[in-house]
Chains A and B, each alone.
Chain A
Amino acid sequence: MGPTSYQDYDVATTSESKVKIALDVNGEATEVAFAPHKTLLEVLREDLGLTGTKHGCELGECGTCTVLLDGTPVLSCLVLGLDCAGRNVRTVEGMAEGGKLHPLQETFADLGAAQCGYCTPAFLLAAEALLASNPKPSRDEIKDALAGNLCRCTGYIKIYEAVELAAARMRGEKAEPRPESLYGQ
């Protein structure tokens, strides 16, 4: 007979004691306590209630959990929550300000760049980081910047168009969607 009690095995039992860190989340000083093994993804979703950040694999393969850490896109499923002490985290919940959508949110909504919407928060943040460093990206530069994010609904095209349109507006141009992208050729 093999072992018969859980005590014969080396398994996790009750939760480890929590650790507390201070960080900046969407521009707000925040304190949060969590089990030390937790990823940033888990801390955001489970301990801070910020469920706008999604997950598709929790293995760093799909890009769906992308958030900005000190302005840089990271896969929050691969970042330990503990490593974020004292740092700035930006999630989709922080994009709209004063009840007004971010230009990227406006164009994603208007062009249909969000279909099921599940990968959308990650694309928005990756695009925001791109535009922060490159206000006028070419189509190929957009593709490169978003190559780590998978989307199964859109075929990416409306996402490129939404990024281009938002970029133009953020540069102060009066830009409108191209008629063929809304109505076809």
Chain B
Amino acid sequence: MASKSSSSSRRVIGKALRKVDATAKVTGATKFADDFAFPRMLYCKLLRSTQPHARIISIDTSAASQLPGVQAVLVGPDLPIPFGILPVSQDEHALCVDKVRFIGDPVAAVAATTEEVASSATDLIRVEYEALKSFASAEDAVANPEPRIHDYGDVGNLHKLIDLEFGDAEAGIAEGDIVREDLFFFEGSTHLPMEQHAAVAMWSPDGKLTLWTSTQTPHYVHRALAKVLELPAARIRVIATPNGGGFGGKSDPFNHEIAVAKLAMMTGRPVKITLTREEVFYCHRGRHPTLMWVRTGVKKDGAITGMHFRSLLDGGAYGSYGVASTYYTGALQTVTYHIPRYHFQGARAFTNKAPCGPKRGHGTPQPRFALEVHIDKIAEQLGLDPAELRLNTLVPANSLTANYLRVGSMGLGSCIAKVIEGAEWKRKFRKLPRGRGVGLACSSYISGAGLPIYWNNMPHSGVQLKCDRGGGVTVFCGSTDIGQGSDSILAYIVAEVLGIDPFDIAVVTADTDLTPVDLGSYSSRVTLMSGNAALQAAERARQILALHAARKLEIPGERVTFADGRVFDAQDPKRGITFAEAVQLAEAAEGTVGTVGSYTPPMSAGKYRGAGVGPSPAYSYSACVAEVDVDPETGIVRVPTIWIAHDVGRSINPAAVIGQVEGSIYMGLGEALMEEMAYRGDLKVVHKIPSLLEYKSPTTLEMCDVVTYLIEDPDPNGPFGAKEVGQGPLLPVMPAVANAVFDAVGVRIDEVPITPEKVLKALRKKQKGEVGRYGPESFPDIPWPEPTRVPTPWEGGDGKAVSLQRA
């Protein structure tokens, strides 16, 4: 049900209002997980593995247990049931049972009366290991199937192998006037939220467990706790505290959350853990280091005839979201430029490093980097302006792609036009003095995934709404505010529909006892999904209130209008009652006024195995021009300005949207220039830089100026037309910078981060008359499975795989 109010009459939607939690945040009143303290609270510390890959021979906790102040010690066999975010990779234990798989893997937990004692106690635990061969890179894991890091997975140390072919890609590529092949590498990076993960568990003698935790996904933590602790879900309450930054890094159920819950059950006392910064690096779940190979056939005018894309992901030690991440490295190539035939092969390797998972853009920034630099090279080879080439090959709105993604609104053309004009592209491209350059790149991202993480046919988001007879409204939703403003979105949407002040709305979120399920703050799903659920609940409440207001005012229902805290006659606005009076009339007639709303995404068009990753109710689009200064003497790249246009469908709050855009540019700039999860590549696979000082991220001194354009082309699937903004604008930054470096100094850096060392190496090669390029040189042989063949829509395909039908 779409809202009837027209854009001109909107009081809330589209306004740059303060967020509902902003005042609490600027006064220090917001309670983050580590701000909780309870009487008799114990402190938990984890003992983590000092070995990258080893069998646990024995663990001796006797000395630790005797230490005065120690209340409980926990080891792997105490919690034998495995868990994991995806049903297909339940490969984690709260504490390692028989093996450790990376330096930092937790092997024991202690609860003690002070943090110092807990820490001392972990020092007293003796673990005897038998070292196993460790794997430092995906190539290493491909080359050595034994010893296996896990006893499951597609083959050897390859966790997942994917082969999907949409039409005959080879034939398509052969139709091109040119065929271009490129290799790229995207280094791993981490979320680096300023808040270290923290959790506090409380056990009540009546058999109820409560966990406050800095998680983006309380619903999944709830499920994992029930499974591992063997408690009924009805006895567990998970409260997601406001996240001090998430970016995907707090989307998995974590060891420490389960450990404190169990320790609270054992001791009957509240137990808290706050990870050290070093431990946050071990939790990781960040960007997968990804090697990519792409081969594309292109007509002289830039039209793509076929594409073959391969990716090899270094997954680290556990599954996490990795199967989905791997699919994502092949899914969204098709939603920007028309690719008539497409072949994707993806592989994820296990290695002995901190587990990778979903970081802002989840599996799509790597292929987007490859694709956008590849397109830039194609344009160069064909002598075409890369902006023109892109504009000529855009996927049309309301169309189906070769891999059966349904594109709705599509504002990429407008985005490109805006940044080209704003950045004075035509004046600058290939015309700036040596050392200065501009680069263009585009991107798209999902507004929520079409399918839930575990199979079920229930809504992805639910809202309950309660109208108080005093005129206040409370909205309950399981969504989690991680700083993106999801609490505010609920208030704005309900306020718009009911014509009240958003600050008269109480928002209760992310509490499994109080709020209907929302799947979590990931995949840019929250504004669209919880927004639609809130819209439905609010429209239902309005219907009830309008009925009784109409009777009182003696006017037809369709003339009843809600605005400015009043309910009145559209034809005679002076005739009306207050919103509170409308609630009282309805309550007198019908009893307590409460409604519910929920949202389930539309069915996906693809019916093949793997079709679950990529479909979305709506795709956002972004275009970005980066201007760079490259010092040919030092190789240092500086980015003075980035122009970005983002097709957000409709801004619920434009200031919040711009905040997400600027934050995305910032995080993308870090990945483009400096951020990397670096390991010592010797037998001891140890993280080189698990600290905020050594892991380089942009400070105020590196951050660029950002010029933002919001493109508003409302999407019918979004609440008021809104699409995502939290992740999409990050994606084009890395390739735009890489393309700009080429424009500045004529060398290709086909790898991020683009460090001075890499630029200098490429410049030296160019000086020697070699190809001025820095990047990977080969892609290993991988035992790809038989492809799943899916005829494209334009070949008469129906979204099903041919090979599956044969079987």
Contacts and interface: CB of A to CB of B under 8 A. Distances in A.
A3, A104, A110: most-surrounded residue (chain B CB, <10 A): A110
Nearest to B192: A152
Contact of B699 (A101, A111, A150, A184): A150
Contacts of B113: 14
A115 B663 contact: yes
Given A115-B659, A155-B666, 8 more contacts: A12-B120, A51-B34, A61-B692, A118-B193, A144-B700, A152-B191, A156-B703, A183-B710
A101 B669 CA distance: 33
Interface string B244-288: 111100000000000000000000000000001100000000000
A76 interface: no
Contacts of B703: 155-157
Interface string A151-163: 1111111101000
Interface stretch (B25-33, B154-162, B623-631, B792-800): B25-33
A66 interface: no
Contacts of A150: 194, 692, 697, 699
Contacts of B192: 152
Interface in A1-22: 2-6, 8-9, 11-15
A179 to B, nearest CB: 9
A159 to B, nearest CB: 8
A118 B654 contact: no
24 contacts: A4-B63, A5-B63, A6-B64, A11-B124, A13-B67, A13-B117, A50-B28, A52-B29, A92-B27, A95-B27, A101-B27, A109-B18, A109-B19, A112-B656, A117-B24, A118-B244, A124-B26, A146-B700, A152-B191, A152-B667, A156-B703, A183-B655, A184-B657, A185-B708
A2 B128 CA distance: 13
A39 interface: no
A177 B655 CA distance: 11
Interface in A118-146: 118-121, 124, 142-144, 146
A115 B654 CA distance: 14
Contacts of B277: 56-59, 61
A175 interface: no
Interface residues of B, number: 81
Contact of A152 (B25, B29, B126, B245): B245
Interface string B679-698: 00000000000011100010
B124 A9 contact: yes
Interface of A: 2-6, 8-9, 11-15, 45-46, 50-59, 61-62, 64, 91-93, 95-96, 101, 104-105, 108-112, 114-121, 124, 142-144, 146-158, 160, 177, 181-185
A13 B182 CA distance: 59
Contacts of B242: 116-117
Given A15-B116, A115-B659, A147-B701, A105 B26 contact: yes
B366 interface: no
A93 B245 contact: no
B483 A115 contact: yes
Contacts of A120: 25-26, 28
A61 B195 contact: no
B68 interface: yes
Given A152-B245, A153-B663, A92 B66 contact: no
B72 interface: no
B173 interface: no
Nearest to B670: A152
B19, B25, B666: most-surrounded residue (chain A CB, <10 A): B25
Given A11-B120, A156-B666, A147 B700 contact: yes
Interface in B330-378: none
Contacts of A59: 277, 691-693
A64, A112, A151: most-surrounded residue (chain B CB, <10 A): A112
Given A3-B63, A116-B244, A184-B708, A91 B194 contact: no
